[in-house]
Structure 1
Amino acid sequence: MEPSELGSKYDKIAQWWHEQHFESCYGVRQFEQAVALSAKAGKALDVGCGAGGRFVRILEQHGFTITGVDVSKNMVELAGKNHPEHKFIHHDICTWQTEERFDFIVAWDSIFHLPLTRQKTVVSKLCQLLTKGGILIYTFGNAQGEHRDHWCGDTFYYSSIGINNNLQLLIDNGLSVLHLELDQYPQTHVYTVACKP
């Protein structure tokens, strides 16, 4: 599934998503653990930022300024209304380019929507966007492969390069892996936290 198609699907459920997740505790424990590992507050990048909400608020509380990127135009518009003091960009992370570097990067439940063939390139890009000492947290599926699933009255695409390939990719990009957890076991959801030394 091309990212533009994914964006259109999330456009249809953006308001519902906002209402369900703005005050949600989903992923907060994991996210706060990653933020606590950050050596300094500075610039943060939220990949697949959605409508903003809990993660943006946590980053704000720790002194970060946030740039959010999302393939859904409606999600970005909501994020801008919810957090007007930060920057939110409607773009495909696969093709988005920036000269900025970030002290903290999160890609929570977004990388696994990318085409399987683009995941290594995107994760490598995120590694290169980190400053020295920067923290990366992102989620993925524990097994290699791709599938489609029915959700919210539509069909969504999911893929993963798997645990071993993700770990090797981080190492190849010069990052140190600090944590990896199947945090929703027996579901296949994995998150990892890594640092750029």
Structure 2
Amino acid sequence: MNPTELGTKYDKIAQWWHDRHHNSAYGVSQFKRAIAMAEKGGKALDVGCGAGGRFVRILQEHAFSVTGLDVSKEMVHLARKNHSEHQFIHQDICTWETSERFDFIVAWDSIFHLPLAMQKPVISKLCSLLTSGGVLIYSFGDGEGDHTDTWHDDTFYYSSIGIEQNVQCLMEHGLALRHLELDQYPQNHVYVIAQRDPPK
């Protein structure tokens, strides 16, 4: 599924997503576990930021300035309305380029929509965007491969390189594994927290 098509699908449910997740507790305990490992303040990147909401507010509480990225124009529009003091960009993480580096990066329930062939390149990109001591949290499926599923009367694409290859990719790029959990077991949802160690 190409990013334009995915963005259009999320455009259709953007308001529903905003209403459901703006103040929800979904993912918050996992997110707080990660942010507790980061230095307070600095720059944060939210990949697949949606309409903003709970994660952006927690980042604000920890004195981060936020850059959000999403393939849905409507999601970005809502995020800008909700958090006008931060930057939200309508872009695809696969092709987005920046000279900035970030102290905290989150990709919660977003990169599992990428084409399977883009999983490793994007995870590598996220690793490269971290500052020394920076923290990365993202979620993925525990199995290898790709599939489609029906949600909101539409078809969505999902892919994953699995637990072992995700961990290997992080370690190859100099990150230390801090936490990994199948947090919605028996569903195949995994989240990982990794950190780029500061130089000795």
> Normalised by the size of structure 1, how large is the TM-score?
0.99
Corresponding residue of 1:53: 53
Corresponding residue of 2:171: 171
Question: What RMSD, in angstroms, separates the aligned Cα atoms of the two structures?
Answer: 0.5
Where do 1:103-114 residues align within 5 Å? 103-114=103-114
1:138/1:193 contact within 8 Å kept = yes
SS in 1 for 2:93: coil
Corresponding residue of 2:14: 14
- Give a deviation string over 1:18-58, Cα, whole Å, max 9, x none: 00000110000000000000023200000000000000000
- Range with bigger deviation, 102-111 or 38-47: 38-47
SS in 1 for 2:67: strand
Unaligned runs of 5+ in 2: none
Corresponding residue of 2:32: 32
SS in 1 for 2:13: helix
Instruction: Write the letter of the residue equivalent to 1:49.
Output: C
Indicate whether 1:137 and 2:137 are aligned. Answer: yes
Corresponding residue of 2:121: 121
SS in 2 for 1:166: helix
Q: CA deviation at 1:153?
A: 1.1
Corresponding residue of 2:190: 190
Unaligned runs of 5+ in 1: none
Mapped to 1, the partners of 2:39 and 2:55 lie a distance apart of 18
1:40/1:103 contact within 8 Å kept = no
SS in 1 for 2:76: helix
> Normalised by the size of structure 2, how large is the TM-score?
0.98
Indicate whether 1:72 and 2:72 are aligned. Answer: yes
List structure 1 segments (4+ residues) > 6 angstroms apart after TM superposition: none
Mapped to 2, the partners of 1:21 and 1:62 lie a distance apart of 20
